[in-house]
Amino acid sequence: MSVTTSDAEPSGPATEAYVRLEHVTKHFPANGRRGAPLTALRDVSLEVARGEVFGVIGHSGAGKSTLVRLVNGLETPSEGRVHVGPHELTALSERERRGVRRDIGMIFQQFNLFRSRTVAGNVAYPLKVAGVASAERDRRVARLLDFVGLLDRAHDHPEQLSGGQKQRVGIARALATEPALLLVDEATSALDPETTGEVLALLRRVNRELGVTIVIITHELDVIRSIADRVAVLDGGELVESGSVYEVFAHPRTEAAARFVGTTLRDRPSAATLARLRRTHPGRLVTVRVRDRTGFQTALAATFLRHEVAAEIVFGGISELQDRPVGSLTFELTGPPDAVDASLAALRADGVELAEED
């Protein structure tokens, strides 16, 4: 297995790990006579720090849900160990694991609300199961519904709510027993972009204001970009890359991660854009990846100037990720070929990532 972590930043959490997977492999037995045994996860090691939002991305079938089920103890690994808080799940009995599971909140794509219960009844349910007295239950339900902005809908039933509101009830219910860890499995996949933004903002508040550690599983990069501190990329059951969202998204080190990220950053002009650019820009076209470095563009300009190369930005853009600049700029470079070559060599020597467009 190749696990690539960033050189620039420590990929390990700065503080104490709350969830730890050590060399976890999960095989599923052959399904029926003709099915072959399947390895859903292979030798996966990762740590989630207490208090962070940790994203896991991967395509369908990459093993994301299996990973969630291992962390909440619904599955046991074929090999390796899973730790949650002070517990090593793999060393516990099923009954003990159920106890640990009560301290983990779960959020699902399909909300999983009781249709026959009111909004308040849904949020109260886990408290009832935990044996919390009725007056205390009512107090906590009101506080939770206020937190998610649905106090005025307490007596409605789920079918009277929008998808986003249902998910907010799901979040309130998951928080009812005051878990230290929230597992969020494709929670926004059924929601439109605006509602997704609202639900993610609420999860951010859960993390920041209540200090809840969040593991969020998704195939949507924008979800990771907008909420996660660190991310792990799963591909075919293997953890191929992990690190800060900035490092993994701005500078992916594996092809699998780059494939994911390439779909959102769109950092090179497409073939059609290039053809259009060429009609009006006869010079050499070079795409430079923006670095989070003070004076980066000034240094670029100075290098071109020193080599007497004219550089005009003809495509690209800069956006932000975790408050740091990301993006790329395509320049049209005009000047004697030797001078252009020398300027590009100088930039490369300075660690600038660039690609000449064909």
Binding site for ligand ATP (CB under 6 A): 28, 31, 38, 40, 58, 60-66, 219
**Contact 228/245 with Cβ under 8 angstroms?**
yes
Supply the minimum distance, in Å, between the C-beta of residue 182 and ligand ATP.
17
Please report how close the Cβ of residue 35 comes to ligand ATP at its closest, in angstroms: 8
Angle between helices 193-210 and 163-175 (to 10 degrees): 20
Q: How far from chain centre, in Å, is Cα 185? A: 11
Alpha-carbon distance 339 to 243, whole Å? 38
CB of residue 63 to ligand ATP, shortest distance in Å: 4
CB of 53 to ligand ATP, least distance (A): 19
Please state the closest distance from residue 47 (CB atom) to ligand ATP, in A.
Answer: 20
Alpha-carbon gap, residue 281 to 358, rounded angstroms: 13
For residue 219, the minimal CB distance to ligand ATP (Å) is 6
Cα–Cα dist 224/229, whole Å: 8
What whole-number distance in Å separates Cα of residue 167 and Cα of residue 52? 21
Q: Are 182 and 214 in contact (CB under 8 A)?
A: yes
Q: Which is nearer to ligand ATP, 62 or 240 (CB)?
A: 62
Distance CA 344, CA 97 (A): 58
> CB-based burial of residue 125 (10 Å sphere; 0-12 exposed, 13-18 middle, 19+ buried)?
middle
**C-alpha torsion sign, points 259, 233, 60, 183:** negative
Minimum CB separation from ligand ATP for residue 319, in Å?
27
Q: Which residues contact 156 (CB under 8 A, 6 or more apart)?
A: 118, 119
- Local structure of residue 160 (DSSP, 8 states): G
Beta bridge partners of 231: 55, 243
The whole-angstrom separation of Cα 259 and Cα 237 is 16
Between 62 and 290, whose beta carbon lies closer to ligand ATP? 62
Choose between 58 and 121: whose C-beta lies nearer to ligand ATP: 58
If the CB atoms of residues 74 and 342 are measured against ligand ATP, the closer one turns out to be 74
- State which residue, 233 or 340, has the beta carbon closest to ligand ATP: 233
Find the shortest distance in angstroms from Cβ 256 to ligand ATP: 13
Measured CA to CA in angstroms, residue 94 lies from 22, 69, 143, 225 at distances of 20, 13, 33, 36
Cβ-based nearer residue to ligand ATP, 28 or 114: 28
- Quick one: 62 or 199, whose CB is closer to ligand ATP? 62
Cβ proximity to ligand ATP, 21 vs 40, nearer residue: 40
Nearer to ligand ATP, 62 or 329 (CB): 62
